[in-house]
Structure 1
Amino acid sequence: MAQKLTTASLANNAPTDQPISLVGTEAGNELRAFDSLLAPAVKQARKTLPQAKKRFLLGLPSGESFFLTTHIFDTDGKFEQVFVRVTSWESNKVVGTIANDLVTVKQYQVNQSIEFPEKAALDWTIAKPDGSEEGNYVGKFIDALQK
């Protein structure tokens, strides 16, 4: 079952993530170390993902947007963690558009449509029109590390 496309913009007062610049390869030590560091937040996000998915499929209130966080890779092995605005989610296949500017990965661009398996989701976020958000366990964890 696919939810209708949401085109709601993020509120001006929505929290701003503080990305970490990380360059490595899929098989590299950098990705393994980064994934290990984020593991508790990813575990919490994945534990709550089924309920968030159900809410998305039932339809979010007007003005809310649903995002999944995943890794994307260039053919040369460089990777980047991205927010994907979900446009459809059927069975275990997610389709959406890249919602943030990219720094490291050059074969993708903001607003590009991508498809990935649900199991590749690291986190989820529901952005609300008042600037608040639900989820974003990984983003909040990274923000706390940088303080």
Structure 2
Amino acid sequence: MSRLVRVIFVLAVLCVCGHAAEDQFFRMNADIEKLIAPYIEKARATFPAVKKKYIAGDYVREKRVLDVQINLVDKDGTKEMVFVFVTQCLGNRFQGIVTNEIELLKEYKKGDTVSFTQDQVKNWVVVDSQGNEEGNYVGKAIEAFDSGIVGVFFEGVFRKGKFEFKYQDAKSAKYQNSIDGIVSQETIAELAKQLKALFEKKRREGQKFEEGKPFFTYGIYDFRTGEIKP
């Protein structure tokens, strides 16, 4: 795959909204369930802070909304993970509206009002009017697994004879970074190290870099194998 084609492919993957993962949950198998288990735990561990901001009205002031994912279950035991737009929180009890089409369940449909408890939350996502997301660790992990590779973006700068690379998360980047929270800090650090070596090699080969002027680049992370490369 050429560098140009790879760039286009990676950018296409990263521009997909996290909610696109919602239509994949009904097709989960043992491998996917194993894959998302740590991200469910991460979502649960970070949800109390999200709940606190929701109750304080922060998301209303920021013009953002909170969706969570929970399992809904029919009387016959059929289970499906769905997105729910949170409309109310009273202690550990919540109420919300199902926001995605139902694929397996017969007793629920999109638009239904459902009640659930905090321990049922498996994923959360806060979204603004432009579709920019915070959270959605489970959805991002499934998308990354489905695409195979993801781009890890950095801001680079050449200063005083040395290159420095800073990971561009969604808060600092000019684009939506869909890998926040699903690629480890160790992986990010290793990619920054490899990019530094690559650009030092380019400089030795004669490529010029303007002192102190930021530039943007990326590395590739294979979500299935763990392989990384600049």
Q: Using structure 1 for the length normalisation, give the TM-score.
A: 0.79
After superposition, the C-alpha distances for 1:62-103 in whole angstroms (9 at most, x for unaligned) are 531111111101111111110000011111101101011111
Segments of structure 1 that go 5 or more residues without pairing to the other structure are 1-12, 24-29
1:10 maps to what in 2?
none
Residue pair 2:68, 2:124 contacting (<8 A) in 1 also: yes
Q: CA deviation at 1:35?
A: 3.9
2:39 maps to what in 1?
41
1:90 maps to what in 2?
90
Deviation above 6 Å: which 4+ runs of structure 1? none
Higher relative contact order (CA 8 A, sep 6+): 1
Q: State the aligned residue count.
A: 128
1:3 maps to what in 2?
none
Q: CA deviation at 1:106?
A: 1.4
CA RMSD of aligned residues (A): 2.0
Corresponding position: 1:22 with 2:20: no
Task: Give the % identical residues.
Answer: 29
CA separation in 2, counterparts of 1:94 and 1:127? 18
CA separation in 1, counterparts of 2:117 and 2:36? 20
Q: Equivalent residue of 1:108, what SS? A: coil
Q: Which amino acid aligns with 1:54?
A: K
Q: CA deviation at 1:138?
A: 0.6
Which structure is larger by alpha-carbon Rg, 1 or 2? 2
1:1-147 equivalences under 5 Å are: 15=17, 16-18=19-21, 19-20=23-24, 21-22=26-27, 34-59=32-57, 60=59, 61=61, 63-147=63-147
Q: Which structure shows the bigger proportion of residues in helix conformation? A: 2
Residue pair 1:69, 1:124 contacting (<8 A) in 2 also: yes
Q: CA deviation at 1:117?
A: 1.0
Segments of structure 2 that go 5 or more residues without pairing to the other structure are 1-14, 148-230
Compared with structure 1, are the counterparts of its residues 14 and 34 closer, same or farther at alpha carbon in structure 2 (3 Å cutoff)? closer
